């Protein structure tokens, strides 16, 4: 059995080869499976006409909610992080305990705004909404969160990896979340 590494086009690649005697010869069977990931369309990217970005950082019970407006190269840098996220594999995911840490980014463009909700913990997904239409879930909400914390120069209280590393008694196990394809 071969388990391939995921790419931008597929995940969960598996190849199973079975060999058996068949009369005086040999029979070979090869089965390949993959979860194909759709390519992100132009509608699922932040456009070049980005004018400004409203960011909200949410840390319930840990730190005050932060609201900032970002322009220029910082807004473009955060748009680039979102634009490079891969599509998440569809299906059920077992997610670790999620305290609800998230970032809400509203990219204001010449056309319709693009809204991104990036979960910093749990399944760490990112969800884009364009013209009130939800796009396929993306993998990498924690990468967006790290970029937001750095861009806004927020203190350690906003960094979920630092907070969760020092907390004790965090519920083990997880919950199931269905990911839209």
Average pLDDT per block of 10 residues along the chain, 181 residues long: 61 80 90 76 85 95 94 95 88 80 95 93 91 89 94 90 50 41 41
How high is the pLDDT of residue 174? 40
How high is the pLDDT of residue 2? 54
pTM of the model: 0.73
Query: Is 11 in contact with 34 (CB distance < 8 Å)?
Result: yes
How high is the pLDDT of residue 88? 85
Topology (CATH) of 42-155: Dna Ligase; domain 1 (3.30.1490)
**32, 96, 121, 154, 163 from 62: Cα distances, Å:** 47, 18, 14, 13, 9
How high is the pLDDT of residue 9? 65
Query: Is 51 in contact with 110 (CB distance < 8 Å)?
Result: yes
What gap in Å lies between CA 39 and CA 136, rounded to an integer? Answer: 10
How high is the pLDDT of residue 179? 45
The domains of the chain are located at 2-36, 42-155
Query: Is 127 in contact with 116 (CB distance < 8 Å)?
Result: yes
How high is the pLDDT of residue 157? 86
How high is the pLDDT of residue 73? 94
How high is the pLDDT of residue 178? 46
């Amino acid at each position: 059995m071969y388990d391939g590494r995921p790419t931008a086009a597929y995940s969960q690649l598996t190849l199973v080869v079975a060999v058996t005697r068949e009369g005086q010869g040999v029979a070979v069977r090869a089965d390949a499976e993959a979860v194909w990931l759709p390519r992100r369309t132009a509608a699922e990217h932040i456009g070049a006409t980005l004018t400004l970005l409203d960011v909200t950082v949410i840390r319930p019970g840990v730190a005050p909610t932060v609201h900032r407006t970002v322009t220029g190269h910082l807004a473009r840098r955060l748009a680039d992080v979102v634009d490079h996220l891969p599509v998440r594999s569809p299906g059920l995911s077992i997610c670790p305990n999620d305290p609800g840490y998230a970032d809400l980014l509203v990219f204001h463009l010449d056309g319709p705004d693009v809204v991104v909700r990036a979960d910093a913990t749990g399944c760490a997904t990112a969800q884009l909404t364009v013209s009130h239409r939800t796009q396929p879930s993306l993998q990498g909400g924690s990468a967006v969160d790290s970029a937001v914390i750095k861009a806004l120069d927020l203190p350690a209280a906003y960094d979920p990896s630092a907070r969760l590393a020092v907390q004790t008694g965090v519920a083990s196990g997880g919950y199931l979340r269905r990911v839209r394809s």
